Amino acid sequence: MPTHTEQVQQLVIRHAGLLHGFIASLCGDLVLAEDILQEVFLVCTTRAQTFTLGSDFLAWARAIARFKTMEMLRSRTRDRRMLNQDALKAVESEAPSLEDWQRQREALHRCLERLSPGQRRLAAMAYGDGLSPQQIADKRAQAPQVVHVMLSKLRRILRDCVLRRMGLDA
Amino acid sequence: MSAIDGLLELVDGYLAGTLTEVQQADLDRRLCTEPRSRQLFWLAINHEVLLRTRTVAGLEGVAAADAGPGGAPWWRAMAVRWAAAALILVLLGAAARFGLRQGAGPGILGVASLVPARAGGGGSVHHPDHRQEPLRIGQVLGQDDAIEVEDGASVELRAPGEATTFALEGAASLVVRTTPQGMRLRLEHGELTAEVAHQPPGRQVMIGTPQATVEVVGTRFVVAASAERTSVDVDDGRVRVAASGIPGDRAEIGPGGRVVARTGQRLDESPLSELSWSDHRPIGVLMLCTGESGWPRNPRGWLHDAAIDITTAGGREELRRRLEAIVDQSIANLHAVGAQALVFWDLEGMESPLGYVGDPRQLATLAPEMDAIADGLIERVRSAGIAVGVAIRLDEVIRARPGGALSLSPAHAPALLAQQRMHYAHKRWGATIFPLLGAPREGMDIATICRRLHADSPQALIIPTAAHGEADRWSAPWIQPEQLASHLGSPHRPGSMAVIAPLDDAYMAAHRDELIHAVEAGDVLTLRAWYKTDGHLLVQQIQAAAQAHPR
């Protein structure tokens, strides 16, 4: 039987993607959000005893994520713009649930399946292998600008497809 | 532009940090007033997060999602990957900051990965109160804990909250200690490789080896120590090294510098020599599998044959016989063209969508039928006077759940990971040639990785398939057919060499003269070894023509 702390850790893992997105919405930076997410994991672990299993985990974890994000942003000089307080409050009030996240993930997978073989190869290089456009350009002996355009198109195809599948394209 | 496109462009700009003041105000306004914009905002952000989780290579996440009743939920594959990176940090951080570790001091290092010896053992941890426990992943090492690694096993240790990693290999012993001034490690015997991150002011990592004490303040460097020799290579910052037993023999080195300490000798500050691979004869490649076969009795696609059955002893014996025949045929083909080596690309099979696995350390678990016969197959090659190569991947290769698909995860320390895989293949099979599959994700470029691998194994030929920058100083980049035209048209840096991927017969015939020039300049041709084509004769002719006019 997992301990209470382990159960909380499992919840954090289960909601990691959602929390990553939530943090990114606050700081406007996906890379920084990854770092903050690890801090959030740490705090959730050490404060696991303050969470009652069965209560609203996402609300609890988001509070921690919000705090850690603000703490991180205060500690560094930022050259990026952020959402204002009203906008933050508005988007947070409609933050997605785990079910929303699952639906979107499923939609993305279905959209990936529909790509042409060439697009799938490109997606695998960019998102699977994590290659930069420059590295892809080198591997394919193409100009980096061409790869940028292809990636941009691919991203757009995927997002449009997800929008359609989620019923948000109308 | 539609309203949707306009909003999504604003979100893209928000995540890229490129919004103007006016655009930011527009985004704020729309999010405050338009419910639909809020929906799109979340969709766009989570879309980027989902893509960044890198579960899309080969769409293995779909397979996990379709696992059906009893299968792991779809999120676990992603989550486990992420957790693998975060778990040690959490365990260590929690232990160090909040004293969760019972009956011991604060955590100094955590066991991030453990590859047992073939005999099955990994090693043990000896605590200062004389308790002893088996080494296991996730273990937290505290003050004065000693770690013993069994011969043939390898262990990766990570420090909490920083990108500092230590790799220990076979029959090694390390004592761990921390002080207010920083971490102190003592390698008693065995091999240690360290990648030390920038340290905060007032703290330094010190590593004692049999030959030297390595002292570092706020820099990134690699130390590799064995029973006879300690070498230090610095990426940036400065490192001080003091020879053991020779008072006053100290060296301070900066970026790109290296120093080697040998038992009883003065410190050697000679710079790292660049790649000098004198054998430019062709190299054969051997690919034994087809990917994603879906064949239940031959899931790793051996020999492209659905009739192969690895689930029975008779089927495995048949596989062995056929593989031996293929290896023998390859040897004959390679002898015919005067080739120097045979490189195995897919010893682990191709069961998963990620393609070539490139982690020979996992052979026993990923392809037990090959693990049982690989030694014999490779020995046939070596006995024929042909060198052996094994493909190595720069990513972690993990299986998120039993029976699930393999997937890639960015390596915390790709150079160390590749090094451990190379050591394994060298020790087990005498491999000296290593194609490097994939590219580092972030933080370290391929040239640095190649330099480190070359520094560690100067007698090996490293062949990065995604080479950049100065990688060709330390390695021989792999040139794909589609890169060949630009490669042949570019000036050759003196002393550099490349390895040209197998080419179609027609292409070789049409570009014979250019290929002769390339080989004259030091490039190495490759060929598919397991079947004979007209191309083998062309390789032979090109080689002969180039040897008549060597560079």
CATH number of the domain encompassing residue B219: 2.60.120.1440
Same domain? For B161 and B18 the reply is: no
CA closest to A97 among chain B residues: B42
The residue type found at B363 is L
CB–CB contact B86 A37 (8 Å): yes
What residues in A contact B76, CB-CB < 8 Å? 13-14
B59 within domain boundaries: no
Same domain? For B238 and B306 the reply is: no
Task: List, for residues B346-374, the tens digit of each pLDDT value.
Answer: 999 988 777 789 999 989 989 999 999 99
| Cα-to-chain-centroid distance, residue B159 | 20
Predicted-complex ipTM score: 0.93
Same domain? For B250 and B296 the reply is: no
Q: According to the model, what pLDDT value does residue A33 have?
A: 87
Residue B435: which of B455, B452, B421 has the closest Cα?
Answer: B421
Token pair belonging to A115? 């790509």
Contact A102/B at CB under 8 A:
yes
Task: List, for residues A4-23, the tens digit of each pLDDT value.
Answer: 877 887 788 788 889 999 99
CB–CB contact B94 A158 (8 Å): no
Nearest to B62 among A21, A113, A128 (CB): A113
B137 within domain boundaries: yes
CA–CA gap between residue B58 and residue A40 (Å, rounded): 30
How many structural domains does chain B have? 3
Distance from CA of A111 to the nearest CA of B (A): 10
Range of the domain at B317: 283-548
Nearest to B480 among A34, A127, A139 (CB): A139
Q: According to the model, what pLDDT value does residue B276 have?
A: 86
Task: List, for residues B199-252, the tens digit of each pLDDT value.
Answer: 777 778 898 888 888 887 656 677 777 777 888 888 767 788 888 878 888 888
Nearest to B45 among A16, A24, A37 (CB): A24
Task: List, for residues A118-134, the tens digit of each pLDDT value.
Answer: 888 888 888 776 677 88
CB–CB contact B354 A29 (8 Å): no
CA–CA gap between residue B91 and residue B428 (Å, rounded): 34
In this structure, chain A runs to a length of 170
For range B519-528, the mean pLDDT: 94
Helix A30-46, helix A57-74: angle, nearest 10: 120
CA closest to B441 among chain A residues: A130
CA closest to B83 among chain A residues: A13
Same domain? For B202 and B124 the reply is: yes
Same domain? For B337 and B408 the reply is: yes
B455 pLDDT tier (thresholds 50, 70, 90): confident
Q: Highest-confidence range of B24-33, B252-261, B403-412, B414-423, by mean pLDDT?
A: B24-33
B522 within domain boundaries: yes
The DSSP annotation for A29-52 comes to: -HHHHHHHHHHHHHHHHHTGGGSP
What residues in B contact A119, CB-CB < 8 Å? none
Query: Maximum Cα–Cα distance for chain B, whole Å?
Result: 78
B491 within domain boundaries: yes
B318 within domain boundaries: yes
The DSSP annotation for B464-493 comes to: ETT--TTHHHHS--EE-HHHHHHHHHSPPP
CB–CB contact A84 B46 (8 Å): no
B313 within domain boundaries: yes
- Domains of chain A by start residue, with CATH: 4-93 (1.10.1740.10), 98-165 (1.10.10.10)
A23 and A40 Cβ atoms separated by less than 8 Å: yes
Same domain? For B517 and B430 the reply is: yes
CATH number of the domain encompassing residue B476: 3.20.20
Contact A18/B at CB under 8 A:
yes
Same domain? For B315 and B455 the reply is: yes
Residue listed under structure tokens 């804990």 = B145
Q: According to the model, what pLDDT value does residue B468 have?
A: 75
A2 pLDDT tier (thresholds 50, 70, 90): low
